Structure 1
Amino acid sequence: MNDFHQLKGGDLFALTVFLSAATHRSFRAAAVELDVTPSAISHSIKKLEERIGVRLFNRTTRSVSLTDAGQRLATKLRPAIASVAEAMQEVEGFQGAPRGTVRINASDVAIRMILRPILAQFLRDHPQVHLDIVTDGRLGDIVAEGFDAGIRLAEAVPQDMIAVRLTETARFAAVASPTYFAARGWPQAPQDLYRHNCIRFRFESGAIYRWEFERHGVVETINVNGLLTLTDQILMVEAAIDGVGIAFVPDFLVSAPLREGSLERVLDDWCPAFPGVCLYYPGHRHVSAGLRALIDAIHKFEFER
């Protein structure tokens, strides 16, 4: 008996729509990703449910959630749709110029440090490539969420991924304005930070970052106190320049203020280098020509700089 379920016209698009809505748990977010209207998403899913005779989403006025059947379909679809996308990418690889969409998931810091310097030139060099870059501090699952690659600190890259080193090392810097230090004094050791107003960083998970220092094998982890907590490291730098307190951020974010004298650095010998930033992608997935061109552009920029 032939158990092959034949796809009819529009089914593949409808399944793509369903998977996007299932991933985002939002028809509106799926509409943004697929560049269609929310009503088109709703209509496509309704037609799919009628076609197969099963409700896939529970809908309320505020949210949508998967039914058990929807969850099972999404689980089965993800590798299948990924295989179709991979097959298309392999065929596209026979063309002379990279083309198509490259979806990247990265933290705000990684985007500013790695991607921003090369974006304009890369898009001029590869006009048929569309970069879809999502700022995300959650360290999400790039496979489940439909990304081609992610960019993270080397220590945060999942072990089952192929990692491409983009920077050899990275460092953090503890900085504040000269007026702040003149009024409050300069910390000489990490423990002195408990007597200072520190600008804290909150991850998207809600956790507060604990400042990590190391010197001569001695490790100090400080759960700092302060009057200001932010989720944006650029705002942390600006608050430090304004004299709010001490910020602890990647040092490349403060290179210009340090040169200009609007910030001063402390505890420098307590801020060692650690493994740098990597771009990573699933080992089983074909690397598209567009993603390969982006990796080459990043490496070329790092080499020339």
Structure 2
Amino acid sequence: MKRPSWNELLAVKIIAEQRSFSRAADVLGLKRSSLSHTVKGLEATLGVQLFLRTTRSVALTEAGEMLIARLSPLLAEMDELLNDVTASAQQPYGLLRISASDAAISLLLETVLPTFIQQKPGIEIDLVAQGQLVDIVAQGFDAGIRLIEDVPKDMIAIPLSGPLRFVTVASPAYLAGRPKIQHPQDIMQHTCLRQRLPGGKRYHWEYQQHEQQFELDVPGSLTLDSSALMVEAAVAGLGVAYVPERYAQPWLKTQRLVTLLDDWTIASQGIALYFPQNRHMPVALRLFVDTVKAAPRA
């Protein structure tokens, strides 16, 4: 049997990741017709169908799933090998794929990325904003960035920030003429901007003061899945929001928002970069980790 080429195998991997021939062609810099021809040729060589294609979707066959499960680690290892071989002789290069929340990406843009991109221009950073916590290994990411409390226990975590404080905020326009909020239970008499978690459930607002704790399923007619959008809605006077302080900080400085229940706030341990242990670390990831460790904690 003719041995498949590197380009054919890479094409299969990218299509499997993108679940679309058009998007995969864009990633690979090919015409869709050329990519389709490549895959048909590989399927003919292997004697099996790898993809189920319709006008609306692309899915792997059982044979395709088997191939991708074994192929992805081999391609990743080959990329790492080639990068390692050339790193000592020239500017390091490679692609670093990171799954992160939008808050984490915002933090990277302020702290780590300006330095890293300037010092390592040959390394391409692919940041994928995902609200949902994903299996970074299964989905082909080199690393993830999440709240420290959410990092899987079998991963290595490198702190990116100090404690992350959550605040209750509202606009002066919203608060005017409405009952004062002096206790967490007072929130239940107000219009709140509720947050939907990645799994679909609504987030319960958390408050703590000494031994007293509250988890409130707050009332409200608007539910969002983004802290940034919740802040925008609060600035517009649509209700009370509960968000990480860094999202609200620009509006707090201009007094378009004010904080409430400051004596009841809680804090997360912070945000961390994490990646698998007990595996060879790609050069791009190792250099990125070094930059994270050297960066000031926000």
Give TM-score scaled by structure 2 length: 0.91
- Quick check: 2:206–2:266 contact (8 Å CA) kept in 1? no
- Quick check: 2:193–2:222 contact (8 Å CA) kept in 1? yes
Q: 2:288 aligns with which of 276, 279, 294?
A: 294
Using the TM superposition, give the Cα deviation of residue 96 of structure 1 relative to its aligned residue in structure 2, in angstroms: 5.1
Measured in 2, the distance between the counterparts of 1:250 and 1:298 equals 21
1:70 aligns with 2:70: no
Indicate the residue corresponding to 2:51 in structure 1. Answer: 57
- Quick check: 2:166–2:242 contact (8 Å CA) kept in 1? yes
For the structure 1 residues 33 and 245, does the alpha-carbon distance in structure 2 shift closer, same or farther, using more than 3 Å as the test?
same
Q: What percent identity do the matched residue pairs reach?
A: 42
Indicate the residue corresponding to 1:231 in structure 2. Answer: 225
Indicate the residue corresponding to 2:92 in structure 1. Answer: 98
Indicate the residue corresponding to 1:178 in structure 2. Answer: 172
Which range moved further: 219-228 or 79-88? 79-88
Q: 1:158 aligns with which of 152, 159, 170?
A: 152
Give TM-score scaled by structure 1 length: 0.89
Measured in 1, the distance between the counterparts of 2:2 and 2:96 equals 30
For the structure 1 residues 128 and 192, does the alpha-carbon distance in structure 2 shift closer, same or farther, using more than 3 Å as the test?
same
Indicate the residue corresponding to 2:102 in structure 1. Answer: 108
Question: SS of the counterpart of 2:127?
Answer: strand
Gaps of 5+ in 2: none
Alignment of 1:240-279 (within 5 A): 240-279=234-273
Alignment of 1:136-215 (within 5 A): 136-215=130-209
Q: 2:77 aligns with which of 74, 83, 97?
A: 83
Which range moved further: 46-55 or 71-80? 71-80
1:219 aligns with 2:210: no
1:120 aligns with 2:114: yes
Measured in 1, the distance between the counterparts of 2:132 and 2:158 equals 20
Amino acid at match of 2:140: G
Measured in 1, the distance between the counterparts of 2:204 and 2:221 equals 15
Using the TM superposition, give the Cα deviation of residue 170 of structure 1 relative to its aligned residue in structure 2, in angstroms: 1.0
1:7 aligns with 2:15: no
Pairwise CA RMSD of aligned residues?
Answer: 2.1
Using the TM superposition, give the Cα deviation of residue 263 of structure 1 relative to its aligned residue in structure 2, in angstroms: 0.7
Using the TM superposition, give the Cα deviation of residue 39 of structure 1 relative to its aligned residue in structure 2, in angstroms: 2.9
For the structure 1 residues 153 and 92, does the alpha-carbon distance in structure 2 shift closer, same or farther, using more than 3 Å as the test?
farther
1:242-295: per-residue Cα shift (whole Å, max 9, x none)?
111111111011122112211111122222222111101111333333323333
1:34-86: per-residue Cα shift (whole Å, max 9, x none)?
34333333222211111101011111111111111111222222222232233
Using the TM superposition, give the Cα deviation of residue 204 of structure 1 relative to its aligned residue in structure 2, in angstroms: 4.1
- Quick check: 2:167–2:262 contact (8 Å CA) kept in 1? yes
1:81-135: per-residue Cα shift (whole Å, max 9, x none)?
2322332233244235332221111111110123344433432222212111111
Gaps of 5+ in 1: none
Across the two proteins, how many residue pairs are aligned to each other?
298
Measured in 2, the distance between the counterparts of 1:21 and 1:7 equals 20
For the structure 1 residues 170 and 95, does the alpha-carbon distance in structure 2 shift closer, same or farther, using more than 3 Å as the test?
farther
Measured in 2, the distance between the counterparts of 1:84 and 1:100 equals 12
Which range moved further: 171-180 or 66-75? 66-75
Using the TM superposition, give the Cα deviation of residue 211 of structure 1 relative to its aligned residue in structure 2, in angstroms: 1.6
Measured in 1, the distance between the counterparts of 2:265 and 2:27 equals 40
For the structure 1 residues 115 and 293, does the alpha-carbon distance in structure 2 shift closer, same or farther, using more than 3 Å as the test?
farther
Measured in 2, the distance between the counterparts of 1:291 and 1:171 equals 28
Measured in 2, the distance between the counterparts of 1:83 and 1:194 equals 54
Question: SS of the counterpart of 1:184?
Answer: coil
